[in-house]
Structure 1
């Protein structure tokens, strides 16, 4: 029988911090290879979950609404997103990922070699467990995103 290792909250927070820094470093390099800033890449990644209003994007990405307007404008010029009226409130514009935007997100994710290699070291059962644990920890943030 394997002894359970005691890990306190501070240790978990430190490991999450290191893990996220590695993930975002890998993501930033992959996004840059597609001539996107990290913020532009993150916007596309968020939109992969579905359309979002400009204000929801700004909240999710923790940036100023005016900055979000510039990010979306540059993505729109490249044909990666489009703006369309919200079905529930025609005054609100939703940002929608285009087919080309979906392709670029797939390319970025495919180029995240360090992250993919780390995840590939896990068995399917370990990946499912990690997913369930992260989902449990971040349920409220995932629902809002």
Structure 2
């Protein structure tokens, strides 16, 4: 007697949202653990990782979906540790931009390297599969593309 073929569940939008939520939770658990190894909270690590280029305090608050007063506290603590600095925006002197220091750049590189080492699934994908995944994510989340 042959065993019945079990077909995978349909990839409905609800199932995909659930899977994306589980994937994001797994990523942030790994990220939080690696940030903690550097003596940072999850939000401090996320803030550092967003600073590939200078960002205003307001844009950081928007990207992190939190109140501007929370960002002030996070940036204050990162600045005290020498990981970021503030400078006046050349476009508008009323705006303060936040920039990584050399120490901050090193901290981000360490966290990313440790997270990447723990998430081996992406390395198992071919270059073509990673490109397809990137394209799909860009289509599903166009505001996060880039």
TM-score of the two chains, using structure 1 as the length reference: 0.89
Give the whole-Å Cα distance in 1 for the aligned partners of 2:10 and 2:67.
40
Q: How does 1:22-61 map to 2 (within 5 A)?
A: 22-48=26-52, 50-61=53-64
> Greater CA radius of gyration, 1 or 2?
2
Give the whole-Å Cα distance in 1 for the aligned partners of 2:82 and 2:27.
26
Name stretches of at least 5 consecutive residues in structure 2 with no aligned partner: 1-8
Match of 1:108 in 2: 111
Which of residues 102, 105, 124 is equivalent to 2:127?
124
Match of 2:69 in 1: 66
Name stretches of at least 5 consecutive residues in structure 1 with no aligned partner: none
Task: List 4+ stretches of structure 1 deviating above 3 A.
Answer: none
The root-mean-square deviation of aligned C-alpha atoms, in Å, is 1.8
Taking CA–CA contacts closer than 8 Å with sequence separation of 6 or more, which of the two structures ends up with the larger relative contact order? 1
TM-score of the two chains, using structure 2 as the length reference: 0.89
For these two proteins, the number of residue pairs brought into alignment is: 139
